[in-house]
Amino acid sequence: MCGIVGVTGKDNAVQILLKGLKRLEYRGYDSAGIYVNDQDGHEYLVKEKGRIADLEAEIGSDVHGSTGIGHTRWATHGVPSKANAHPHVSADGRYYLVHNGMIGNFAELKKQYLSDVTFKSDTDTEVIVQLIAKFAQTGMATKAAFKKVLNLIDDSSSYSFLLIDNQEPNTLYVAKNKSPLLIGVGDGFNVVCSDALAMLDQTHDFIELIDGETVIVKPDSILIEDTDGKRIERKPFHVSTDASAADKGAYPYYMLKEIDEQPGVMRTLIKHYISEDGSIKIDDNILQSLHQSDRIYIVAAGTSYHAGLVGKELLEKVAKIPTEVHVASEFGYNPPLLAAKPFFIFLTQSGETADSRQVLAQVNEQGYQSLTITNVENSTLSREATYTLLLYAGPEIAVASTKAYTGQIALEAILAKALGELRQVATAADFDVAKELTKVANGEQELVDEKKDIKKIAAALLPTTRNAFYIGRSIDYDIVQEAALKLKEVSYIQTEGFASGELKHGTISLIEKGTPVLAVITDKHTAKHTRSNAQEVMARGANVVFIASRSLAKDGDQIVLPDVHPLLTPLVAIVPCQLMAYYASLQRGYDVDKPRNLAKSVTVE
Ligand code: G6P
């Protein structure tokens, strides 16, 4: 989703902004732009529809500056176009603004204050920059005009803003509400970004901002004010991620790199959370809070939701605690009747998903305890939850999530073991999580080393089909939902992940000659049933591929999975499914890392 970068106090502002925007490319966008100025009054605005490379091609060698702002846009109000790309400029040419988020009452503000202004775009953002200029024209100072506009924006809105007044060329005006934004601290310069990754080449020290604060950033000062105008002092936090961890290395695509990294993620999690003697290193306060609750609510979106489905199996079967899993965008507006002592777990790779965040805000208001499991240290959901556990998976750049899914499940397994031990349930004592995850890591390694077979199956099964099915039962139903999401995200094949027993109750009508059906069989209790359901679709012409655990495999099964603990089979079964999606996407000619219409981090509801 939209990305923001800004810099002040560096001679090569253009290069810094472009590099920052490139680092945010993975989040998904459809147009981009920069504005830069220098101390001599030169200023440049360049915007382009399409990729950063297209923007770069538009930037002439004369474009230079020491202060600037940049943006990648993921269209919300108005189609992707050069006119709708940010930065937006006020009609009098004085103010330049980039924005992430959505202004709920932009139409009302436009009608009330700006009926005499000619707009150049269809965006909600342009209303804000025009309004700031309007108030400034009445004699207000920029800071006052900016604050006045912030006060007019309604509660349904979300924003992070970066504003430049060309009468103060080395100053960035900054504000945020619900959308992420950080100030990066430099020596003689400062930067602003919606994701630390964008500016790791410049600094590793970042200051978080709280909703409602406004900040004035100059090359050698950062002035933070709360809503009442009171000065706030806040120390930066250090981000240890190495910028090179976000590079592709020798890989053609991030998605392939991240699929291959999964065995390493398992090993890193074992190292971080399990001592040599097998004891688990999770903060006792987290475990006690979980122990005191009578029901766990896992809230998440997309792939993280699917990791939550497996988390429920683990928490209920290993730790014996009732657990529900909810889609965040549904939960927030139609919550279930809660148990007496609920505990909330937010699963989120990015830690920024707006749908999950709005649920966390309600959970906090009601005074319940929560844990965020995320890959991004100091992300919004991490800061706002009571507790955080990190995945240590390294930056995940491809839009389609892979290593975060397996990392989340592995960490849920470790958490279930620790909680089960505290609850003194026998199932936990029998679950040697370190040994089982090591087996998983080896199994995943075996699978990522066998890519050629998957590539061939994808080429035979998926090059032209319009639709496909993944089917399975029980824990295999959890797996196929994620497998289907992966395939549809990157190959645009309409794919359903279906409970195989339910097919005959309606959906089997979609099966015709040649329909690809991938049957996942890792659960011994339902293996026979899934095979019968596969026979039913074969009888109707489907092209069936079996993906089965070694101990349940039959002659002729196309993909055989290493045997692992029955509650951890998603960690191995998903690997060939991820590879299947990867190859199908490439074989159909798509950009697998940046699928159309999708954003990595969805910061609007
Ligand atoms: C977006 C991404 C998905 C991701 C979902 C939840 O839709 O495209 O890949 O699963 O957000 O993201 P989170 O960062 O909260 O796990």
- 409-418: pLDDT as tens digits: 999 999 999 9
Q: Does the beta carbon of 401 lie inside 6 Å of ligand 1?
A: yes
- Assess contact for 227 and 54: CB atoms under 8 A: no
Of 159, 115, 153, 173, nearest to 1 by C-alpha is 159
Residue 342 — very low, low, confident or very high, per pLDDT cuts 50/70/90?
very high
Q: Which protein residue's CA is at the shortest distance from atom 7 of ligand 1? A: 302
Q: Which residues on adjacent β-strands are paired with residue 474?
A: none
pLDDT > 70 in the chain, percent: 100
Q: In the chain, what are the domains?
A: 3-250 (3.60.20.10), 251-447 (3.40.50.10490), 450-605 (3.40.50.10490)
Residue 394 Cα to ligand 1 middle (Å): 16
Q: Does the beta carbon of 393 lie inside 6 Å of ligand 1?
A: no
How confident is the model at residue 1, as a pLDDT? 66
- In sequence order, the 6+-apart residues with CB closer than 8 A to the CB of 301 are 327, 328, 329, 348, 353, 355, 356, 602
Ligand 1 atom index nearest CA of 356:
15
Give me the active site residues, please: 2, 600
Sign, Cα dihedral of 473, 474, 478, 479: negative
> What digits encode the pLDDT tens for the residues 131-189?
999 999 999 999 999 999 999 999 889 999 999 999 998 999 999 998 889 999 999 99
Q: Does the beta carbon of 301 lie inside 6 Å of ligand 1?
A: yes
Q: Which protein residue's CA is at the shortest distance from atom 4 of ligand 1? A: 302
Ligand 1 atom index nearest CA of 301:
6
What value does the mean pLDDT take over residues 527-545? 97
Which stretch, 190-194, 226-230, 248-252, has highest mean pLDDT?
190-194
At position 513, the amino acid (one-letter code) is K
Q: Which protein residue's CA is at the shortest distance from atom 3 of ligand 1? A: 302
Q: Given ligand 1 and candidates 27, 258, 303, 381, which is best to mutate, with the most ligand atoms within 8 Å of its CB?
A: 303
Q: Does the beta carbon of 349 lie inside 6 Å of ligand 1?
A: yes
The Cα–Cα gap between 22 and 410 comes to: 31
Residue 184 Cα to ligand 1 middle (Å): 25
What value does the mean pLDDT take over residues 256-277? 96
Q: Which protein residue's CA is at the shortest distance from atom 13 of ligand 1? A: 348
Q: Does the beta carbon of 517 lie inside 6 Å of ligand 1?
A: no
Residue 101 Cα to ligand 1 middle (Å): 16
Ligand 1 atom index nearest CA of 381:
15
Q: Given ligand 1 and candidates 194, 353, 381, 489, which is best to mutate, with the most ligand atoms within 8 Å of its CB?
A: 353
Residue 379 Cα to ligand 1 middle (Å): 14
Residue 130 — very low, low, confident or very high, per pLDDT cuts 50/70/90?
very high
CA 342 distance to own-chain centroid: 26
Burial of 194 (0-12, 13-18, 19+ CB in 10 A): buried
Q: Does the beta carbon of 16 lie inside 6 Å of ligand 1?
A: no
> What digits encode the pLDDT tens for the residues 40-97?
889 999 999 999 999 999 998 899 999 999 999 988 888 899 999 999 999 999 999 9
Q: Does the beta carbon of 374 lie inside 6 Å of ligand 1?
A: no
Please determine, for residue 19, whether its predicted confidence score (pLDDT) is greater than 90.
yes
DSSP string, 360-420: HHHHHHTT--EEEEESSTT-HHHHHSSEEEE-------SSS--HHHHHHHHHHHHHHHHHH
Please determine, for residue 214, whether its predicted confidence score (pLDDT) is greater than 80.
yes
The Cα–Cα gap between 450 and 237 comes to: 42
Q: What are phi and psi of 504, to 5 degrees?
A: -65, -10
Q: Does the beta carbon of 354 lie inside 6 Å of ligand 1?
A: no
